[in-house]
Amino acid sequence: MSTWVWIGIAVLGLIVLVALYDITQKKHAILRNFPVVGHFRYWLEAIGPEIRQYIVTSNDEERPFSRDQRRWVYASSKKQNNYFAFGTDNDIERPGYILVRHSAFPLHTPHAGEPGYDPSCPLPCVRVLGGYRGRKLAFRPASLVNTSAMSYGSLSGAAVEAINRGTGLAGALQNTGEGGISDYHRKGGEIIWQIGTGYFGARDDQGRFSMERMLESVASAKVRAIEIKLSQGAKPGLGGVLPRAKITPEIARIRGIPMDRDCISPANHTAFSDVSSMLDFIERLADATGLPVGIKSAVGDLGFWRELATQIVATKRAPDFITIDGGEGGTGAAPLVFADHVALPFKLGFTQVYRTFAEADAQHTTVFIGSGKLGFPESGLLALALGCDMINVAREAMLSIGCIQAQRCHTGHCPTGVATQNRWLMRGLDPTLKSARLANYLATLRSDLLALAHATGHAHPALVPLDALDLVDGNTQTRSARDAFGYQPGWGLPPDAEVVAMRAA
C-alpha cells in the first residue's frame, strides 16, 4: 500500500480512538453527545478573542481597547503613519463623548524640519514631586506620562526589561508594581517602587514590613519615589494575585514566597491601620530615604478621602503624590465581579476625590496622578484638566511592546511573551527592539497631548482648563466638563507659583 493509504488509516484510527474516548468520558456532556465534532466548540471558544478582534467586531466596538485604539498605539510605537482617513467613524453624539473646544487663535506646534522641533517631545510635569513636604530628594519628573504599576511575575522578565529600557530612552518613570525590584528593573530606567500589602522586597521572614530590607532595596536600583499601594482599580479591596502557573524560582526568590501555591497578598496593610498611622508610615519612609512617598488607591469609601484631606490641613503631614486608579484599570488576574463592579470608574472616582481636597483647600498639597485607560490623547487631556498632574499608562504600554489583547494574562500562556513566564513564548520578545517602540509611543502621546493643548491656545497640557472640554449630553446639546463634574472655576489647574518655576527651569 502507498504512503498516503497508511496516513489515511492512521488518521482514521486516531479519529476512532478520540470518538471512543469522547463517548466513554463523563466530564464533558458536549463531547459525550457529539464525539469528535464537539471539540470544535472548545477550539472556537479558545480562539474567541482573536476571532472577535479581526473578524466580528467593528473598529470601535471591542473592549477594553478598540481596533482603532490598538492600531494607533501599534503605528505610533513603530513610527509608522498613525493618521486615519475619510473622517471619524465614531458615534460622536453618544453621551459622554469627549469634545475639545479649539481656539480661534491656536499656538503653532513645530513639525519635523522646523526650529524647535524635538522628536522625543519632552514634556515635564508642572509640579515637583515631594515639594510640599520639602523632601531631600524631591524632583520634577521629566515626563508627565509614565508607565503604571506592572509587576515582574505578572509580566515576563523580557517585558519588564523592555519597559525599563524604554522609559529610560523616553525620560519617563517605570512603576515596578508590587512584585518587588528585579534585575529587569535595573537596565537604565528610573523607577517608582511600589510597596503593596505583601511588602515584597521590604519584608521579613514572617511577611511583615522591614525597614532594613526596604533600605537595601532602595539602594539597589534607580528608585526616585516610593508608592504605597492601598488598592488598584481592577481588584479593589483585594490583595494582588499571582497564579501559581506564573511563579518561577527567580520570582519566588525576589518575593520571598513558596512556589507550590498562588501568591495572594493580604487585602490590608499590617504596617498601619488608619489614616493617621498611614501618614506616620509615609513620614517614616520619607525620613529614612529622602524620597517622595505617595499612595495608590481606587476610589470607594469617600470617608477615607475626607479624613485624609482633613488631616493634611490640620497636621501638614501628607503623601507626596496620590495615584487614583479607575475601576476600568487592568490586571493580570482578578475575580470577574471585582473587575466589573467594585470601585468607581476613573472620571467619577478622581473627581470626587479632587473635589473633596479642593473643598478643604488641600488640592495643592499633593501631586495627583491618574491611571485607568488614560493612554490616549483625549482621555489624557481630560484627566489633566480634571486635576491630574501626571498620567500613568499600563496596558497601552503593553500594546506598544507587542501585546495583542489576547486576554490570556492569567493563564501564563500570553502568545506574545508579554504576560507569561514560559521561556519559549518569552523568546519572541526582544527587549531592545520593544524598548524603542515603547519610547516612540510615549513620545507620540506626549506630542499629541501638546498639540491638543496648543489647539486650545495653551502652552502645556496641564494648563488647559476644564472649560476647554465638553461632554456630549445627547443629540442636541453638550455640557462643559467643569459643569458636568461640579468643579469651581480654577479647580484642576496647578498653582501659579509652580507654573512659573516650571517655565523658568
pLDDT band for position 90 (cuts 50, 70, 90): confident
Please check whether residue 298 is in contact with residue 236, taking contact to mean a CB–CB distance below 8 angstroms.
yes
pLDDT of residue 331: 64
* Max CA distance (Å), the chain: 93
pLDDT category, 71, cuts 50, 70, 90?
Answer: confident
Provide the 8-state DSSP code for 101.
-
Q: Concatenate the DSSP letters of all residues of 179-218 into one string.
A: T---GGG-SS-EEEEEE-TT-TTSB-TTS-B-HHHHHHHH
pLDDT category, 459, cuts 50, 70, 90? very high
Average pLDDT, the chain: 88
Q: Which of 339-343, 443-447, 490-494 has the lowest mean pLDDT?
A: 339-343
Q: By percentage, how much of the chain surpasses pLDDT 70?
A: 90
Instruction: 268-276: list long-range contacts, CB under 8 Å, 24+ apart.
Output: 268/197, 269/197, 269/228, 269/230, 270/197, 270/208, 270/209, 271/199, 271/208, 271/209, 275/304, 275/307, 275/308, 275/311, 276/311
pLDDT of residue 406: 75
C-alpha cell at 482: 467643569
Cα 35 to its chain centre, rounded Å, is 44
Residue-level pLDDT at 262 = 81
Determine the average pLDDT of the residues in 213-236: 90
- The model's confidence at residue 57, banded by pLDDT at 50, 70 and 90, is low
C-alpha cell at 375: 493612554
Which residue has better confidence, 417 or 221? Answer: 221
| 293: phi then psi, degrees, rounded to nearest 5 | -130, 130
Residue type, 219: A
The string of pLDDT tens digits covering residues 99-137 is 999 999 999 988 888 888 888 999 999 999 999 999 999
Higher pLDDT, 44 or 145: 145
Pairing mode, if any, of strands 98-100 and 469-472? Answer: antiparallel
**Residue 56's pLDDT is what?**
55
Higher-confidence position of 195 and 236: 195
- Please tell me the distance from the alpha carbon of residue 229 to that of residue 239, in angstroms, as a whole number: 10
What separation in angstroms does the CA of 72 have from each of 15, 82, 357? 45, 6, 35
pLDDT exceeds 80 at position 469 = yes
